Structure 1
Amino acid sequence: MNPNARKNIIYSLVLFAMLLLVYAWRSREPKSEGKVAIDKVSGSVSFVGKTMGVDYRVSYLDEGNRNFQSSIDSLLNAFNLSISGYEPTSEVNRLNLVDTLLNPSQTLVEVLQEANRMYDLTSGAIDPTQGPIERIWNFSTSGAQLADSTDVRVFQSLVGLKKISVTDSVIRKITRGMILDFSKSAKGIALDRIGEFLEAKKVKNFLVQIGGENLAKGVNEQGELWKIGLNYLGDSLGKKAQGVVALQNQAISTAGNFEQFYTRDSLKLTFQVDPRTGYPVTNGLLSATVISLDAKTADALADALLVMGRSQAIQLDSIRNDIQMILIFNERGGKMKQYVSPDLEPFLSFPIK
């Protein structure tokens, strides 16, 4: 047997064993009880729950005080059974164990099509097949370490979204042993689906949150734009400060943490691998916050910008009027700096220096 093929088989078996362990652990966790808060005077409804291993929260205004939690839970459950890595029997996990999947669900096809859109937009800076190379690197404040006796080229051969063929009737891996992981984009896609559900129910004002991802439409019960807290750069030494951004029918997502980094050659670097090379990024961008008209773009693009770097991010910002961003970065031997899209400044609670 070809050595690379043997490694691919071993990798798939290890992944399956890890999925079983995750399932066993999650089975021990108590089920969350989604308590619904309804204010009949203001017409506000809110509830919380669990999905994809994190909390979710839905708040909206509805004159009829309708409770949509069971419908949204059903929507999320169906979504997870298709594309979530947290569900051992999900469709994507079944695909990860074989090379061909016949009659895939419309959800999985649409998620792969969206992944291809973001892949093309970012020139491959975000890739749902990048899991193999992410797992061979360990990051800490002391640096990036490669697992012993690991040949990056072997694992890099398993990366590349264009090696997966997608049609409505079949999904096929051109390279055996490839793994799909939508953890960098699934929450954003789910947010958009919840938003579409609420709009179909004639709900115009809502805020939906999954983990740290947010989608807002309309206004809150005070008649004001929905506001989201975020961290920004307090000074050039890297001090964190807390502020607020008002969302005008937009979504927001942040990737990276400018307080967590390692230093190499006088440059602070984030804990991120470039799926195009198989090696850690070296561009000095530590955090990227993206505000977009839809959550799927904000979620995926924030991660992609960490790989692309500040210069390409600002260039993208300058040619598109449907996104804004906050970038926190440093240059070699220099202090921390922050870039904010000009159009975003009026919606921030803090001054831009």
Structure 2
Amino acid sequence: MTKIRCTFVFILFNILSIYSQEEPIKIEGYAQGTTYHITYFDKQNRDMKPEIEKILKDFDLSVSTYIPNSIISRINSNEKNVIVDKYFTDCFKKAKEVWRNTKGAFDPTVYPLVNAYGFGPGKKQKIEKKKIDSILKFVGFNLITLKGNKIIKKDPRVALDFNAFAQGYSVDVVSEFLNSKDITAYIVEIGGEVYAKGKKPNGNNWTIGIEKPIDNKESSNPLKAIVKLEDLAIATSGNYRRFVIEDGVKYVHHIDPKTGYPTKNNLLSASIFSKQCISSDANATGVLVLGLEKAKIFLEQHPELQAYLIYSDDKGNYQVYETKGIRSIVTESEE
């Protein structure tokens, strides 16, 4: 599943080291249109890649808009009597929760707009006010509900896009699988979204990096900060990898559901920490749409979320706003 929104490429540090007591098992591959990297310590030395890849494949068959016969694609095309599964249900319920909490800044029904701007599998359309206004008539999470195991739409043109947070949820799904196998030290990264459990056998934390938000579609950027993780998830959303330029205007892939246009504010990236990667991922998108000042108020109201926000000041310089709960685990990079 190709991710609609930009996710920072987190750089994992020190996961290839060999320890005297126990060696890490490393799994990597492709899923959801991106890469994944998983490292865990297991005294039984089990290779869990086949099971994990089966989980990720089943996950895509539920919520990937890039697979025509997935559950979400069938719902978007108004196929009758589609029965949703747990993956879809969990995504839908979390989306409703974050939609309410952000007062509509996060809204997965922006899918038709995502396609119109050329950020989805659908055909790109000419960006003009008349077209955007016409699409906005059927954008709104209040237009769709989940009743039992079926979706009900008030307008058949309503379509869903979970790509803004599905990778975060897939991190949780894989983490739950590792927990079921009694793995107590691991790190799961899918498309840049991360959850780390426990510590390495040598007592060190898992360590990742957050990039500087420099426009760059092709490769990694220098690091802005280094983060130590333990029993914590992090997801970052930004506007510097996924964008299009039309008639000299840059359009980023985060769409404001209320205006129908890409977000325009000085918030460049939002890294959100929480106990579940699905929450980090969805709220990172919502925070980026809210913008810096509204995001500060939102974060004060939701202490279960911690944040590291990079924004530009009036002179175009990078500035950082961070919540108190992460100041002990985030340090500025010297790069």
Question: Under a length normalisation based on structure 2, what TM-score does the superposition of the two structures give?
Answer: 0.81
Unpaired runs of 5+ residues, structure 2, are 3-16, 120-124, 215-220, 245-249
Alignment check: 8 A CA contact 2:310 2:321 kept = yes
Query: Which moved further from structure 2: 200-209 or 240-249?
Result: 240-249
Aligned counterpart, 1:294: 276
Aligned counterpart, 1:308: 290
Unpaired runs of 5+ residues, structure 1, are 1-18, 23-36, 140-144, 263-267
- Structure-to-structure mapping, 1:166-181, within 5 angstroms: 166-181=146-161
Tell me: CA distance 1:70–1:319, structure 2 relative to 1, closer, same or farther (3 Å). Answer: same
Aligned counterpart, 2:6: none
Tell me: CA distance 1:277–1:149, structure 2 relative to 1, closer, same or farther (3 Å). Answer: closer
Tell me: CA distance 1:180–1:40, structure 2 relative to 1, closer, same or farther (3 Å). Answer: farther
Superposed CA offset, 1:49-101 (max 9, x none) = 21101111111111111121111111111111111123221111111111654
Shift of 1:324: 1.6
Equivalent of 1:245 in 227, 251, 258:
227
Alignment check: 8 A CA contact 1:284 1:331 kept = yes
Tell me: CA distance 1:179–1:40, structure 2 relative to 1, closer, same or farther (3 Å). Answer: farther
Instruction: Give secondary structure in 2 for the equivalent of 1:327.
Output: strand
Shift of 1:343: 2.5
Superposed CA offset, 1:282-306 (max 9, x none) = 3321111111111001111111111
Equivalent of 1:125 in 105, 111, 120:
105
Tell me: CA distance 1:100–1:173, structure 2 relative to 1, closer, same or farther (3 Å). Answer: farther
Structure 2 counterpart of 1:274, one-letter code: D
Aligned counterpart, 2:7: none
Alignment check: 8 A CA contact 2:102 2:298 kept = no
Alignment check: 8 A CA contact 1:99 1:177 kept = no
Aligned counterpart, 2:177: 197
Equivalent of 2:197 in 193, 214, 217:
217
Alignment check: 8 A CA contact 1:44 1:221 kept = no
Alignment check: 8 A CA contact 1:208 1:215 kept = yes
Superposed CA offset, 1:131-161 (max 9, x none) = 222333479xxxxx96257432210112112
Shift of 1:248: 2.2
Structure 2 Cα separation of the partners of residues 113 and 197 of structure 1:
21
Instruction: Give secondary structure in 1 for the equivalent of 2:29.
Output: strand
Alignment check: 8 A CA contact 1:39 1:45 kept = no
Equivalent of 1:158 in 130, 134, 138:
138
Structure 1 Cα separation of the partners of residues 317 and 20 of structure 2:
51
Query: Which moved further from structure 2: 59-68 or 149-158?
Result: 149-158
Instruction: Give secondary structure in 2 for the equivalent of 1:207.
Output: strand
Aligned counterpart, 1:283: 265
Structure 1 counterpart of 2:230, one-letter code: Q
Structure 2 Cα separation of the partners of residues 148 and 258 of structure 1:
23
Aligned counterpart, 2:47: 67
More helix by share: 1
Alignment check: 8 A CA contact 1:163 1:175 kept = yes
Query: Which moved further from structure 2: 292-301 or 146-155?
Result: 146-155
Shift of 1:178: 1.8
- Number of residue pairs the alignment of both structures matches: 305
Shift of 1:243: 3.2
Aligned counterpart, 1:108: 88
Structure 1 counterpart of 2:295, one-letter code: A
Structure 1 Cα separation of the partners of residues 151 and 285 of structure 2:
25
Structure 1 Cα separation of the partners of residues 159 and 54 of structure 2:
27
Equivalent of 2:320 in 338, 344, 352:
338
Structure 2 Cα separation of the partners of residues 61 and 87 of structure 1:
34
Instruction: Give secondary structure in 1 for the equivalent of 2:297.
Output: helix
Identity of aligned residues (%): 29
Tell me: CA distance 1:135–1:78, structure 2 relative to 1, closer, same or farther (3 Å). Answer: closer
Structure 2 Cα separation of the partners of residues 351 and 46 of structure 1:
26
Superposed CA offset, 1:26-55 (max 9, x none) = xxxxxxxxxxx9989514211112110111
Tell me: CA distance 1:69–1:346, structure 2 relative to 1, closer, same or farther (3 Å). Answer: same
Structure 2 counterpart of 1:340, one-letter code: E
Alignment check: 8 A CA contact 2:19 2:202 kept = no
Equivalent of 1:228 in 201, 208, 230:
208
- Structure whose alpha-carbon radius of gyration is higher: 1
Alignment check: 8 A CA contact 2:213 2:269 kept = no
Shift of 1:120: 1.2
RMSD: 3.2
Structure 2 counterpart of 1:314, one-letter code: K
Superposed CA offset, 1:168-212 (max 9, x none) = 232121111222111111101111111111111111111001011
Tell me: CA distance 1:105–1:42, structure 2 relative to 1, closer, same or farther (3 Å). Answer: same
Tell me: CA distance 1:112–1:248, structure 2 relative to 1, closer, same or farther (3 Å). Answer: same
Structure 2 counterpart of 1:301, one-letter code: N
Structure 1 Cα separation of the partners of residues 66 and 18 of structure 2:
31
